[in-house]
Structure 1
Amino acid sequence: MSDLKVLNFMRYAKVAAITSIVLLVVSIGSLAVKGLNLGLDFTGGTSIELEYATAPNIEQVRSDLVAAGYPSAVVVAYGADTDIMVRIQGDAANLAEDVSQVLNSGEYDVTIKQASFIGPQIGEELRDDGGLGMLFALGVVMVYVALRFQFKFSIGAVAALVHDVIIVLGVFSLLGLDFDLTVLAAILAVIGYSLNDTIVVYDRVRENFRIIRDMTVPEVINYSLTQTLGRTLMTSGTTVVVLLALFFVGGEMIHNFATALLIGVGVGTYSSIYVASVILLAMKVTPEDLMPPKVEVEGEEFEELP
């Protein structure tokens, strides 16, 4: 064994467990009471692409729409400086023309480039399909980890992923941020990111269980986490730098996408260190759980090579 200074992560296992429970209770409570502020992708509405003769003032456009009776209108810049997108809940056939007239009444010359309507039934189907897709992804993860490692490990991995998803959803519920398809895509990306981190930790735990015989289970987990800590911090750090750039300069259209990923990467890094590992301790994992099965050949027993 190297002279690696082992950090005692499991010393704070109870504190981490209490923190996770509090975050989950708050998140679930907010989701139950406030729910999610679903965007037009899920509730249905009209998306209108407008082109201005000169670059408009986005805040002034929002103020004009609010004054005209559209308080829930979402105005975002996209493409060229003269292009904006207005998203409004409602299915009126002449909604695009009404919005164009409101904005043309000001100091700008506005033309409609494109208008599209998402019906509430389509939005409901998108919401249901997205939820089913997330559940399917978690089920596949459980099967994969169970086959690659062991059933106790699959419970820990899925528990960490559910923990991450619920907290991200809870933050969006608490802050009242719009939840649309881009945020759903971000949550699926968080599942992949968190799973990758957890698999790296679990792979090192399995390896150390097989080669280290003079350590207790918490000591093996601490040793494994210390070995992977540098890789975890480097991966998380570089990812956060990119996400911060998207968050601050990426534009309003991907602002919530970057927000969900920032929260997810932070929570995912925490859960791969604590939630997934603490679950292993709670389920009383032992080195024997990962020992290769014994096979008999002509009356003699041999260990099957991994």
Structure 2
Amino acid sequence: MKHPRLTTLLAAALIALLPATADADATYPDPQPVTGQRIIHDPTVIHLKSGGYVAYSTGGVIGARTSKDRVQWDDAGNAFTAPPSWWYDYNSTGDPWAPDLSYRAGRYWLYYAVSSWGSNHSAIGVATSPTGLPGTWTDHGKAFTSGTTDEWNAIDPAIVRADGKLWMAFGSYWTGIRMVRLDPATGKAIPGATVAQLATRPDAPYAVEGAYVLKHGRFYYLFASYDACCAGVNSTYRIRVGRSTSVTGPYADSTGKPMLSGGGDLLLASHGRFVGPGGESVFKDKDGDVLAYHYYDADDNGTPKLGLNTLDWTENGWPNLG
């Protein structure tokens, strides 16, 4: 996802290049009620083994919030007390974006991106923690990078396990959503691994990013944010989804249109005060799968806030929002 503090001018210029968006649809469900510290961008959430919840996000040094009940959220500082020095190789402020939080092998794993607006000189970093809580993370450096000669952009990481292997979806604009295999011991990309392509748009500027991959039943589901974020009430983000029997694709929507050709069922779009939903991730909870995302609150000057909705599944195996 793009940096939440983009200037209005840059965001407006990007939006002008995008195709027209669909009208708001009043049938989309509102996010479930949350209280406390609701301001967030690009949330990743997990139900901790110790109980309660933690959410990390773009902003700060990977901003953190905690909750006991998934309703009341409290500011919990940042994942790190200070940016690791290598972050400054990718932007002058050491600013991280779009984290991804997961648990495996007895540890919590936090992936995140460092880059600058409009550039694919980018890196995805990885850190581990025994508890998943802020202040307990050890950074392990770069997991994957991209440079200006690459056809992809190494931001917006999302980790998924499939058939005993570890994979990372990533990507933003350029050639869209990509995937690379990781070494489970280090959590970093296997040197020389093939970079698969999962989704893109047929029209410049190929506005798709913020992937998340979820296994449900016999399918892998690819969620992605289409169009433009980070412009407050002028944001045009929306969440689309496709599926595949293979984690590396090909992914298609319910009509059979490939996500490599711009396909994807529309899961959530602007409605009422809830503008530009995106930056999504999914976490498992006691009541099932939960979609976490940000939206821009039209009743609060476009402030980005936390959205949570449970995922229901149709008889044909497609997600709906509760």
- Answer whether TM exceeds 0.5 for this pair: no
The structure richer in helix per residue is 1
Q: TM-score, normalised by structure 1?
A: 0.25
The alignment's TM-score, normalised by the length of structure 2, stands at 0.25
Query: Which protein has the larger Cα radius of gyration, Structure 1 or Structure 2?
Result: 1
Q: Which has the higher contact order (CA 8 A, sep 6+)?
A: 1
